[in-house]
Amino acid sequence: MATMDNLRNGLIHKIKTINDKGYLEALDHLLSAGSQSLDAVKLTQEQKAMLELSEDDIKNGRLISQEAMDKRNLEWLQGL
């Protein structure tokens, strides 16, 4: 696996070879938007509790397949 410096230098080299202004503008926009989404998300106590319950369900095998969930939802919707 490449180190961060190797990865960064490789990206810089690739960017230097790009001659399309629109492509560079799009890349700039992507990089700018990406840095904004790195902020930590603040969870409420209720959200944390729900995540803990979900993790407990996974650990204890209380799972349902997507197919079974779709079937259950369809049956529920038909009963409305």
From the list 11, 56, 2, the residue with the least C-alpha distance to 30 is 11
What is the distance between the alpha carbons of residues 80 and 71, in angstroms, rounded to a whole number? 15
pTM: 0.42
Which amino acid is present at 71?
K
Residue-by-residue pLDDT tens, the chain, 80 positions: 579 999 999 999 999 999 999 999 999 988 887 666 556 788 999 999 999 999 999 999 999 999 999 999 999 999 98
Contact 43, 51 (CB under 8 A): yes
What is the distance between the alpha carbons of residues 50 and 45, in angstroms, rounded to a whole number? 9
The continuous run of DSSP H or E covering 36 comes out as helix 21-36
